[in-house]
Structure 1
Amino acid sequence: MLADELKKQAPPGFDEASLRIGRIIGAESSKRVAWTGLREVLVCHQAHGLAFPDGLDRQLFAQICDYDAWLWHQLYGKMEFCRASFSAGVQRIYTYLSGIPEGTTTHKLSLFSAHDNSLVAFANALQLQVPRVIPPYGAMLIFEVFRHRVTGEFYLKTLFEGDEVTFARDLTLRHVLIFHRHGDRTPVLTSIGSKVQQTQEETDFWASKVATPEQIELLQQTAKAIGADPSQPPTIRPSKESQFPYGLLTQKGVEHMTAKGRKFRERYGDFVGGNVKTEDVHVLSSSVPRTIESVQSLLRGFFYEGQNTQIKVPQFYVHTYTHNVLAPNHPLQVFNEIELIVHDDVVSLRSKIERGAMEKLSLHLRECLGVPEDQPLSWTAVRDALTCREAHGWPFPEGVDQKIFEQVTVYDTWLWQRLYHRKDFCHGAFKDGVKEIYAYLKSVVNNQKEVAKLSFFSAHDNSIVALLGALQIDVGAQLPEYGTAVTFEVHEDVATHEFYIKPFYEGEVVSFAGHHNDPFCPFSHFESLALEFLTVKA
């Protein structure tokens, strides 16, 4: 049974997947799902050609396996539990191997036949950097013992399923890159149907929510918006005046992002140190006012305890480019037509029941909002409008309730992920953004210049979805909420001077495709994924 505190640490996307799985198997909540039993049944079904239960596809099967593996490694990663359950096993292997240099063990080959949880427990007990998976049938952990011909010293080489693995390394943190979404804002896509028109009352309501002049003054004192360098003026478009009060950071957004900055300080404050200089922090923002103000808020929270600080903090620079590389480059119309663009995926990847439910919901929304049949229903515009209304207590349109809002969010999330995970589309829209991130991290690793300790890249929700798709980082079925951050920690091995990337999504460790065995991904693997994406042919 899943403990509440463990559920809070669950991998990204777990909540939505668990609800869907629970409905399929008839469990009321994630606590009622016997994850190991369910996985075991499905593994056997797959191995012997039996059909999965209706509604369970291979994507959900993979999520079940990933989540149960995460649970196992969380469980056996707790040393008290691991010691209590498998100390005898570790002692037996240790005694056997230590007998080789002592001369009491004389065999050339030894076999220890055990179970999947035996391997997981043993790997966690020895802190081996093995894949965070449940070992498949026949999986092997091999210890090769070598003796140096000259010195007589003994060495151990460890392999998991034929691949060499290591014990815990001596790594030091060199840089932290934070790629984040802006904070809470007023609506952007305001036209969602003939029955939902902006009134003066609603316009005044949103005007009362935007960040106050007093807040903005503090943010500008914290960090100054500039162009590509301090000699150039910032690129800001559209201007706040041209869109007021829509698409702007709210008072709530400033407060939330400032609080996020304080959370980052808790984790990285000691790393940055007290005697901070302007060049210790690199900041690049999308050219939209709300992203600039959001990263100013993060910096305010990170470097200032409150209205004042006892530590002298310089004014930082927020760089902007004339070409906005941090925002995916495609027409706004794409958001109105996502369902049409990915129609082949809708047909091939969603069940008949799911398609029918969305068609029924679409008809209901068209009636409630006043969207004609010959016009695409913009699921994104509906979701955006409802998200802003819910966040600030403005009522939903008549006929739309919380349940409908949740259904719209789940479906639009799926549509976004299908769109941005198409390599050709994502490459055309966001190759410049990926190139910017890759080039910056490459400069850190190569130490090409005096590199900052901390960098912020302030962007949008679709920027994050595109970046995750481009670098093949799976965070489950979710869209980035306001302030969501993808963090890349750059670590250096003190002994070998090799570099590793440790990726996080909202503070939880995630992994790159092809590297699930270790939270510390070799920079070379990250680089191969980035270059694979950047060399996609249109």
Structure 2
Amino acid sequence: MLSEMVRLSYQHRAFYCYVILSVWIFLLVAGMYKYIGVDDKSATQGRPPGSELSIREFPRNLKPDVKTKRIFRFCNSPSNILPGTEGKADGNITLTGILIFVRHGDRGPLAHVRNISTINCAGDFTSSSELDNVYQGYQNFLQNASSNWRTGWAQFLGPFHGFPMLPATARDCKLAQLTMLGVSQLLKTGLLLRNAYFHRLNLGNGTINSKDVVVYSTRYRRTVQSAVALLYAFVENDGFQNLAKISLRETQSYAFCNTDCACPAAEKYHKQYSKELGDHLKSHPAVADLIKQASNIVFEMPDQAQTTDSNTLRDALLTYVCHGASLPCIDTETQRLCVKTEHVTGLFAYTEWEARQHAKSHNRRKYGLLRAYGLLRSIVSYMLRMISEAKPKIVLYSGHDKTLEYLATALGILSEQAAVPHYASRFVIEVYRINPKSETHVASDFYFRVVVNGKDFTQKIPFCRNTSLYNVNFFDHDDGEKTRKESKLCPIEAIVRQLHDDYFVPFNATNFKDACSIHRQG
């Protein structure tokens, strides 16, 4: 009897051991899969080359949420390009002309990045049936332009004759080339500006002529293509053919500085500002280490400049972020290294902090002032023509982020939105005439307003604050309700005085030549 009980006890013990072993194996396997699955929560994931784990890939693309919302702002999807206060100033005033400055639309990276062939740069590039119809119409128009409108099309393109107006392929990301998403952004911007200004400027009915519209672009495909897409949407298909009477004009510099480009002092201030940026990074060693490690993953052949520049890395990462692509990885002999979500959010948090330091940098301000002088001269010249001749009605500058940065500096606008422009940013200067009781107009009857991406920045311009601002009203639609708000116009006399009398005060000079002298600036 005793021997029988011992035998049964051993059988039960074996059964218990089997159960415990099974549970342990189950927990071990579950734990392994849980560890493998948290790919986005670890900085690196070690694994033997050629193991079964290398087959398993996990999504690493950035998802829009509270933490990443500010990052996706730089992508500026067409659905986020919304009407603002453009053209809404109302009262005893007449809109006589507008100057539009845009950054080109979404583009491919400026340097070779990993897995670029797998990134779909077309994506969901339209956001509404209206925009989709405009895009299809634009495609059809361009296909027929060279055959049905050969002479006029060539005249319109001017120095850019022969440039393709659409990306070579819908899906591929080409280095520094405009994407289908970028085309869509400028079409959406054109529609928005058309709704704001077209009729207020008394355009339409085939009346557009060479004196009405002036267009400048740098000699890059992405800026030329952006300008044409915006103009197409602004004047619509029928009106667009009237633009055969004008020509796109080429500028040699992304600063649109005309004859006021060469400036040794500007280069000196730029070098000093670059040193400031380097010192900022040295004071954040963890960020510097992040940039170095991430750059070695992101760029196929990273150089020293790429591994030490936060803005270069940010630009490259936007290629993945803005097109819903997985963040890149590389395999070493011992482990797989991946760029993670926290890397991206950490980098962008740093670049935002760095942008806030821009306002404190005297070197950056002086550099921007000297770079923007030629453009500001051009702006004031066109404003005076709008006053005296009521022409042109539209002046468009299709440029780059630096173009808008310099302009913001020249006007004293310190907003981050203006200092770090996203793709397809728009910067509009509206020129108004106060309607007098008599037919005679004097200089004091003319005012201007500055609107950046739909927001009125006029009162933030330092040289406008101490002048007699003109009060106007506009109606805004907040939560579907029509609300009356107040806006202010700045006298054009203020910007003329700033350009001719006060612009070079920071340099202890009275003209561009002296301000650009290195010896004079020490």
Matched, 1:482 2:423: yes
Q: 1:508 maps to which residue?
A: 455
Aligned-partner Cα distance in 2 for 1:323–1:482: 21
Match of 1:248, SS?
coil
Specify the alignment match of 1:267 in structure 2: 196
Q: Does 1:179 align with 2:101?
A: yes
For the pair 1:355 / 2:355, whether they are aligned, the reply is no
2:364 is the counterpart of 1:422? yes
5+ residue gaps in structure 1?
1-28, 31-167
Q: 2:177 aligns with which of 238, 242, 248?
A: 248
Superimposed CA distance per residue, residues 231-288 of structure 1 (whole angstroms, 9 cap, x where no aligned partner) = 96448999999x9932222112112211111111111122133233123222112221
The 3-state SS of whatever aligns with 1:246 is coil
Partner of 1:530: 499
Q: Please, what TM-score do these two structures have when normalized by structure 2?
A: 0.55
Partner of 1:145: none
User: What is the distance in 2 between the residues matched to 1:473 and 1:223?
Assistant: 43
In structure 2, stretches of 5+ residues that fail to align are: 1-65, 68-89, 126-134, 330-337, 470-487, 505-510, 517-522
Letter in 1 for 2:391: V
Contact 1:235 1:287 in 2 (8 A): no
Task: Tell me how far apart the structure 2 counterparts of residues 300 and 411 of structure 1 sit (CA, whole Å).
Answer: 38
Which residue does 2:348 correspond to in 1? 409
TM-score (structure 1 length as normaliser): 0.54
Structure 1 partner of 2:229? 297
2:409 matched to which residue of 1? Answer: 469
Amino acid aligned to 1:380: N
Contact 1:223 1:316 in 2 (8 A): no
Matched residue SS, 2:416: coil
Shift in alpha-carbon separation, 1:231–1:475, aligned structure 2, 3 A:
closer
Aligned counterparts, 1:7-406, within 5 A: 170-187=92-109, 189-191=110-112, 196-197=113-114, 201=117, 216-217=142-143, 233-234=159-160, 245-273=174-202, 274-275=204-205, 276-278=207-209, 279-304=211-236, 313-315=242-244, 317-321=246-250, 323-324=252-253, 326=255, 341-344=273-276, 355-356=284-285, 358-365=287-294, 368-369=297-298, 377-398=308-329, 399-406=338-345
1:258/1:301 contact within 8 Å kept: yes
User: How far does residue 484 in structure 1 lie from its aligned partner after superposition?
Assistant: 0.7
Q: Is the 8 A contact 1:219 1:296 kept in 2?
A: no
AA aligned opposite 1:404: H
Check 1:186–1:318 CA distance in 2 against 1; reply closer, same or farther (3 A cut): farther
Distance 1:258 1:238, change over 3 A: closer
Overall identity of the aligned pairs, in %: 20
The alpha-carbon deviation at position 460 of structure 1 amounts to 0.6
For 2:262 and 2:314, the matched residues in 1 are separated by 20
Aligned twin of 2:378 = 436
After TM superposition, give the deviation of residue 414 of structure 1 in Å: 5.6
- Matched residues in 2 for 1:183 and 1:339: separation? 29
Contact 1:175 1:444 in 2 (8 A): yes
Q: How many residues align?
A: 352
Q: Over residues 208-227 of structure 1, what are the superposed CA-to-partner deviations in whole Å (9 max), with x where a residue is unaligned?
A: 99999757547887997879
Q: Displacement, 1:479?
A: 1.5
- Indicate the RMSD between aligned Cα atoms, in angstroms: 4.7
Counterpart of 1:422 in 2: which secondary structure? helix
Q: CA deviation at 1:289?
A: 1.4
Structure scoring higher RCO (CA < 8 A, sep ≥ 6) equals: 2
The 8 Å contact of residues 158 and 249 in structure 2, kept in 1 or not, is answered as: no
Q: Distance in 1 between matches of 2:309 and 2:141?
A: 34
The CA deviation at 1:183 is 1.2
CA shift in 2, pair 1:351/1:388, >3 Å: closer
Report how far residue 408 of structure 1 moved.
2.9
CA apart distance, 1:294 = 0.8
- How far off is 1:315 after superposition? 3.4
